[in-house]
Amino acid sequence: MEDYHSILNNIARYVELSETEKEKFTSIIKTTRIKKRQFVIQPGYVCEYRNYILKGAVRVFYLDDQGKEHTVSIGIEDYYFADFTSLITQEPATHFAEALEDSIIFQMKYEDIEKLCAEIHGLSEYFRKITERAFASSRKRIVANIGKTSTQRYVEYAQKYPNIVNRVPQYVIASYLGISAEFLSKIRSRQ
């Protein structure tokens, strides 16, 4: 029996579910342990699961034509990740998800969530609300990428997520912020 306390707590911040509903939800969860550097999602394979990080750290990234890595998301505890395009279309992924530490994740099959959202109104509301938040912060990131200098982006990110900056390799942060690893090093040396 796993500890669903933290994910149910996350849900409770947005909606109230009955005990039966909570049980139905936790019954679709598969718990997976992954080792550092292990891939959870890989290009070519459909992203079957919506993943929740119970413990550890995971990043989602893709490789461009020149083989350069671009990190799309960095998540630690209490964070969802997926190749969302692949997840909602159920077409092959284009992104990797890689454990940055030994981690424990909860995996929920796309179809199971869809069925449960159709059945449980509160759950539909929950995913609607967290996706709205995710969308708004994605918009904020676009704004930051377009409108700010690399230095500003790094300083603000480090201020907002000091724990991530301390846990995760610098080249990952760089590729998340859209800066070369070398230039991020130079930014840091000037601070």
Partner DNA sequence: GCAAAATCTTGAACTAGTTCAAGATAATTT
Partner DNA sequence: AAATTATCTTGAACTAGTTCAAGATTTTGC
Residues near DNA (CB under 7 A) are: 36, 66, 68, 149-151, 169-171, 178-186, 188-189
Strands 29-34, 58-63: pairing kind: unpaired
Near a copy of itself by CB under 8 A: residue from 140, 163, 170, 186: 140
Q: Which of 137, 150, 152 is nearest to 178 (CA)?
A: 150
28 is an interface residue for a copy of itself by CB under 8 A: no
Instruction: Return the ∠ at Cα 101 (arms to 100 and 105), rounded to 5°.
Output: 95
128 is an interface residue for a copy of itself by CB under 8 A: yes
12 is an interface residue for a copy of itself by CB under 8 A: no
Q: Which does 163 bind (CB under 5 to 8 A by kind): a copy of itself, DNA, none?
A: none
Give the residue with the Cβ less far from DNA, 85 or 180. Answer: 180
Of residues 32 through 61, those in contact with a copy of itself by CB under 8 A are none
Give the whole-angstrom CA distance, residue 14 versus residue 33: 27
Q: CB of residue 49 vs a copy of itself: minimum separation in angstroms? A: 15
Give the residue with the Cβ less far from DNA, 25 or 176. Answer: 176
Helices 110-119 and 121-147: angle between axes, nearest 10 degrees: 120
The token pair at 13 is 């911040």
Phi and psi at residue 158, to the nearest 5°: -65, -35
70 is an interface residue for a copy of itself by CB under 8 A: yes
Contact 56, 104 (CB under 8 A): yes
Phi and psi at residue 90, to the nearest 5°: 55, 35
117 is an interface residue for a copy of itself by CB under 8 A: yes
The contact set with a copy of itself (CB under 8 A) reads 62, 64, 68, 70, 72, 84-85, 88, 117-118, 121, 124-125, 127-128, 131-136, 138-143, 145-148, 178
